[in-house]
Structure 1
Amino acid sequence: MTVLNTKDLGITLGAPLFRKLNFSMNKGDHIGLIAANGRGKSTLLNCLAGTVEPTEGDVTRARGLQVGYVEQNVPEELLSLSLYDAVLSALPTEQAEYESWRVDVVLNDLAVPIELYEKRLNELSGGWQRVTLLARVWVVEPDLLLMDEPTNHLDLTRIVFLQNWLKTVARDVPVLVASHDRAFLDAVTNRTLFLREDHSQDFALPYSQARAALDESDAAKERQFENDSRKAQQLRRQAAKLKNIGINSGSDLLITKTKQLKERADKIEQQSQSAYKDKSAGAIRLVNSDTHAKALITLNDVQVTTPDGKLLFKTGKLWIKKGDRVVLLGPNGTGKTRLIRMVLQALTEGHPEIKAAPTVVLGYSDQNLSQLDEKSTPSEIITDKFDVGDQRAIGLLASAGIGIDLQSKPISALSGGQKSRLAMLDLRLSNPNFYLLDEPTNHLDIEGQEDLEAELQAHNASCLLVSHDRTFVRNTGTRFWMIEGKRLIEVEDSETFFAASVSE
């Protein structure tokens, strides 16, 4: 049964985001929506939800269709409400008054701890805020679920919980989910829509299989285009020869034949289509300056505690050597970010139990990109901090996906993906030999994640990092430290931790 259909759908915001989009959603479809940062995913979701009007084409919804849209950000008016009241306020007034039990059922289904019910949203973590947004949508019993980056700010346990929830509780509800988490997409989708400016592609496959099919489709189109181009060139060369012969001999037949060959070449070129070349959202490039030190960071049985002094874990004696890419593994709240910040403190102010080699040059980025002053402009960030002229700064920012029109605007005006790419440019220009990265893939599209993985590997970069993105961890890490009880232990790989998270 078809619940939603688009016909020749297009949206232009300054420039075209997408055109001639034709696809349908049926009961049981769980569709992954894939595109680079800034290419229209959120705009399409808003259009399907009915909050944005298309520039062209139509959206047809089944009669009485209840669309639930889980947005990325919490509306300002909800932040002062308790978690419970924020979900309750999604119900119509009369229903909220007599059927508040629906909220309890949904929060129980989503495994929200009862002690969080009365916490205000602005006091909760980003992960629990996202769970609240999902609960607000689910409590009204939608017939169609739209989700925009639902795994952002979730730890792995909650990501796996969301996977299982989509495959059980929400299994019969059509879902369209925009996400950059490749492992999550593979787990929850049975179709994949690659959103493009022209000729968007839809495959009845989960993400990784669909990506392979897309690459093969693009390669086949490129081969066909090259063959057609060669054929058209051959026809034009034949036409040129016949034209000369026809002119010299005065043969009208050869002149007519020449015209026919040219027309055939024109027709082939008009029908031929080059493979789609997606515009990059901005390059990510890193460096790894040299150091002769073997042990860059030494942890001498560091005690990692909460701000009020409660022990979270002890590190024992551990080293980070040149070329190590160490991944910290553990659920939210166990102290991963606390350790990252302690290492940062050791590198900037000193720490009695954490020693750094004198030649260590730090490159740091946290999950909130706090190294970027929201009131500054991208141009100011680059020119004030680094010895580059205005013209080079323009080129550097443009290559990172920050257009000239945005370079003089406050950083707060940038999208999450643009901020992440600016942060990566800031890291590169710092010329580090040790990276300290807390959730570096937040807001990065799949292209950006793959670029970051490739750069860390290509430069044999040394780093200590935290990430809940399983694909990124698998592709990047060379050593793995896992928080187990009150200890930090080294494990052979990340799979033990991933398997434990899945079984919880």
Structure 2
Amino acid sequence: MSLINIRNLGVTLSSPLFSNLNLVVNAGDRIGLAAANGRGKSTLFRCIAGTLDPSEGEITKARGVTIGYVEQNVPQHLLDLTFYDAVLDALSPEQAESESWRVDVVLGELDVPVEFHQRPLKALSGGWQRMALIARVWVTEPDVLLMDEPTNHLDLGKIAALEAWLNALPRDVPVILASHDRAFLDAVTNRTVFLRAEQSPVFALAYSRARSALEDADAADARRYERDMKTADQLRKQAAKLNNIGINSGSDLLVVKTKQLRERAERLEDAAKPAHLERSAGAIRLANRGTHAKVLVTLDDAEVLAPDGAALFRTGKQFICQGDRIVLLGANGVGKTRLIAMLRKAIDMPEIAQDGIKATPSLVLGYGDQALADLRDSDTPMQAIIHRFDIGDQRARALLAGAGMSIDMQARPIGRLSGGQKARLGMLVLRLAEPNFFLLDEPTNHLDIEGQEVLESELMQHQASCLLVSHDRSFVRAIGNRFWQIERKRLIEVEGPEDFFAAAALAR
């Protein structure tokens, strides 16, 4: 059954975000929306939800269809409400009074712990705030569900729970998801839309297979364009040769033939369409100044403590060596970020002894955390660069432009940038530090798929040494060559991440 029909849809702001989107949304569809940051995913959702008019095309909906839209950010007015009241607030006053039981049902479906029901949203993690937004929409029983970056801030257990919940939804409720989590899209979708400025293709495939089909189509387009342009060039050369003969011989027939060949060349050139070239949201490049040390960090049974002093785990005897790309695995709260903080302190402030941690003196640290806390919201990108590094204004502007920031953005407070823009600024800061060892806590949190793949490539190409924490399964699989797991208050080395991923899914 068709619930939404999208025909020739396009949105242009300062430039086209996407165009020529044709999509029929049927009952049971699980549609993944893929596009780079700033390419119109949230804009398309607003068009479908009816809060924004497209620049071209139309959207028609079946009579009476209701749309549930899970946005990315928690509205400010909800932060002081408890989890329960924030969900209850989504119902009409009449429903809230007589059907409050619906809130209990939804919180049960989403496995929200009872002790969280009466906690204010502002006291909960970003992951639980995300679950509250989902619950608020689902309690209204929409006919179509739109979800914008639903896995942001979720740990692996919650991502697995969300996957299971989505796959268990009634099959008559279509879901459209915008996400940069490749493994998540593969697990929950059966169709994929790629938003593009010229043409927005749709595939009846989950993300990875759709991406492969898209690359094949792009390659075929590139070959076709090259062939057409080559044929047009040959026609023009033939026309030029015949034109010379015609002028010299005075033949009207050859002049007509020349005109026909040129017209054929023009028609070919007009009809030929270049293959799609993705407009970069900003370059991500890293540097690795290298070090002669083979062992970069030695952990000698260091004890990792919680902020209140409680023992979390001991590291045992471990070594981080040059070329290691170590992924730190463990459930939320077991001490991953605490270990990274201890390592950062040992490298940045070697004069303050860290029991059980010894870093080689030649280490230069590149640090990035999921909150991008090293970037002050009140600074501008220009200030963030020129205050840290000995480069002039002109060089700083060129570097920021290369990272995807216009002159206007460069003078804007960092707090007003999008998550993706801040992430690319953070990567530029990492590059300019010229580290030889990286500590990365959720580095892909705000990066689009293109950015994730470029970061993977940069870390591999520069043979970077790093210790990282990530809930992005695709990123972990691509990057890691060693894996440490925190389990039963010990740090142990494991062969790979798959057993941990499977256990996280079972423990949801």
What is the distance in 2 between the residues matched to 1:119 and 1:171? 33
TM-score (norm 1): 0.98
Q: What is the 5 A alignment of 1:318-357?
A: 318-349=318-349, 350=352, 351-357=354-360
Which segment drifts farther, 75-84 or 293-302? 293-302
What is the distance in 1 between the residues matched to 2:162 and 2:187? 10
Contact 2:302–2:355 under 8 Å retained in 1: no
Shift of 1:401: 0.9
Residue of structure 2 aligned with 1:450, choices 439, 453, 456: 453
What is the distance in 1 between the residues matched to 2:236 and 2:55? 41
What is the distance in 1 between the residues matched to 2:10 and 2:233? 35
SS at match of 1:359: coil
Q: Residue 300 of structure 2 aligns with which residue?
A: 300
Shift of 1:172: 3.2
In structure 2, do the counterparts of structure 1 residues 172 and 299 end up closer, same or farther at CA, with 3 Å as the change threshold?
farther
What is the distance in 2 between the residues matched to 1:199 and 1:503? 41
Shift of 1:404: 1.6
Q: What is the 5 A alignment of 1:20-419?
A: 20-349=20-349, 350=352, 351-419=354-422
Q: Residue 441 of structure 2 aligns with which residue?
A: 438
What is the distance in 1 between the residues matched to 2:4 and 2:169? 21
Shift of 1:303: 1.8
What is the distance in 1 between the residues matched to 2:433 and 2:458? 15
Identity in percent: 63
Q: Residue 501 of structure 1 aligns with which residue?
A: 504
What is the distance in 2 between the residues matched to 1:52 and 1:289? 48
What is the distance in 2 between the residues matched to 1:214 and 1:117? 44
Can you list the C-alpha shifts for 1:173-209, whole angstroms capped at 9, x where unaligned?
Answer: 1111010100011111100000001111100000000
What is the distance in 2 between the residues matched to 1:178 and 1:124? 24
What is the distance in 1 between the residues matched to 2:339 and 2:87? 34
What is the distance in 2 between the residues matched to 1:488 and 1:439? 19
What is the distance in 2 between the residues matched to 1:169 and 1:481? 35
Unaligned runs of 5+ in 1: none
In structure 2, do the counterparts of structure 1 residues 247 and 391 end up closer, same or farther at CA, with 3 Å as the change threshold?
same
Which segment drifts farther, 332-341 or 165-174? 165-174
Unaligned runs of 5+ in 2: none
Contact 2:21–2:201 under 8 Å retained in 1: no
Counterpart AA for 2:471: H
Shift of 1:503: 2.4
What is the distance in 2 between the residues matched to 1:55 and 1:122? 37
SS at match of 2:450: helix
Shift of 1:170: 4.6
What is the distance in 1 between the residues matched to 2:331 and 2:135? 22
Can you list the C-alpha shifts for 1:401-441, whole angstroms capped at 9, x where unaligned?
Answer: 11122111111121111100100000010010110100000
Can you list the C-alpha shifts for 1:239-290, whole angstroms capped at 9, x where unaligned?
Answer: 1111111111111111111111111111111111110111001111111112
What is the distance in 2 between the residues matched to 1:465 and 1:300? 19
Contact 2:192–2:202 under 8 Å retained in 1: yes
What is the distance in 2 between the residues matched to 1:170 and 1:446? 29
Counterpart AA for 1:477: G
Q: What is the CA RMSD across the aligned residues, in angstroms?
A: 1.0
Contact 2:27–2:171 under 8 Å retained in 1: no
What is the distance in 2 between the residues matched to 1:488 and 1:65? 52
What is the distance in 1 between the residues matched to 2:373 and 2:170? 36
SS at match of 1:385: coil
In structure 2, do the counterparts of structure 1 residues 21 and 374 end up closer, same or farther at CA, with 3 Å as the change threshold?
same
Shift of 1:368: 0.3
**2:470 is the alignment partner of 1:467:** yes
Shift of 1:47: 1.5
In structure 2, do the counterparts of structure 1 residues 170 and 378 end up closer, same or farther at CA, with 3 Å as the change threshold?
farther
- The count of residues paired between Structure 1 and Structure 2 equals 504
Can you list the C-alpha shifts for 1:40-89, whole angstroms capped at 9, x where unaligned?
Answer: 11111111111222222221111111111111110000000000000011
In structure 2, do the counterparts of structure 1 residues 170 and 420 end up closer, same or farther at CA, with 3 Å as the change threshold?
farther
Counterpart AA for 1:290: G
Q: Residue 7 of structure 1 aligns with which residue?
A: 7
Can you list the C-alpha shifts for 1:382-419, whole angstroms capped at 9, x where unaligned?
Answer: 11111111111111111111112211111112111110
Counterpart AA for 1:17: L
Can you list the C-alpha shifts for 1:81-123, whole angstroms capped at 9, x where unaligned?
Answer: 0000000111111111111111111000001100000010000
